[in-house]
Amino acid sequence: MAFGSFDNGNGRSHAVSEINMVPLIDVMLVLLVIFIITAPLLSHSIKINIPQATAQPVEQEPKIVDLAVDADGMLFWNEQPIGMDELKERFAAEAALDPQPDLRIRADLNTRYEVLAQVMSSARTAGMKRLGFITRPGADAQAGADVPSGTPAAAPAPAPATAAPG
């Protein structure tokens, strides 16, 4: 490496235009040593014997409770008539089960919303967590026709009765 001299006798002083690489090499060697020392510590692992289990998962079909509400506000628990007071007791009993049953509400088209609101409130108060509604598509939806919003769907026509041969 070339360094300037202290002798300035001939008047030709010029600036040193070379980069001093020694400090850069020293820093790189220090970093290399640090990485060589710390790399094995970062990948150190502990071997643990974990127990192996081969149990089959238990598949439980949740019980389904079908609650029907007709146009007059009558309630039917799995096709059996029931009063509103007895309904609250049954909700409390079903909510205590594990797993909780699925409550499916099926309401008539002309059922008052007040009755449905009372049923849903009773179910929530008793602790029922799984609540759903059973619906039936209208005749226009089955035929593939688009029903404009605000237009009620027509009720499907009853199926004709057939006589059994015999």
pLDDT for 129-157, tens place per residue? 888 888 887 655 554 444 444 434 444 44
71 is in which domain, residue-wise? Answer: 64-138
- pLDDT at position 44, please? 65
Question: Contact, 118 vs 84, CB < 8 A?
Answer: yes
- CA nearest neighbour of 93 among 63, 51, 50, 135: 63
- State the pTM of this model: 0.48
Q: What's CA 144's distance to the chain center, in Å?
A: 32
Is residue 33 a part of any domain in this protein?
A: no
Q: Round to whole Å and give the CA distance between 118 and 111.
A: 12
CB 83 within 8 A of CB 54: no
- Across 96-118, average pLDDT: 88
Quick one: tokens of 89? 């007791």
Look at residue 10 and tell me whether its pLDDT is greater than 70.
Answer: no
98 lies in some domain:
yes
102 beta partners: 64
Residue 47 covered by a domain: no
pLDDT grade for 110, boundaries at 50, 70 and 90: confident
Q: What's the pLDDT score for residue 25? A: 94
Structure tokens at 128: 């029922």
Q: Residue 33: what pLDDT?
A: 94
pLDDT for 152: 42
- At 7, the pLDDT band (50, 70, 90 cuts) reads low
Rg (CA), the chain: 41
The enclosing domain of 99 has a CATH number of 3.30.420.270
| Any domain includes 92 | yes
Residue 94 lies in a domain: yes
Question: 111 in a domain, yes or no?
Answer: yes
Dihedral sign of CA atoms 156, 160, 161, 164 in order: negative
Distance CA 166, CA 152 (A): 42
Q: What is the per-residue pLDDT across 13-69, written as a single tens digit (0 to 9) for each?
A: 677 788 888 999 999 999 999 999 888 777 767 777 777 777 777 777 778 889 999
Residue 145 lies in a domain: no
Tell me, yes or no, whether 21 lies in a domain: no
The count of domains in the chain is 1
Amino acid at 62: P
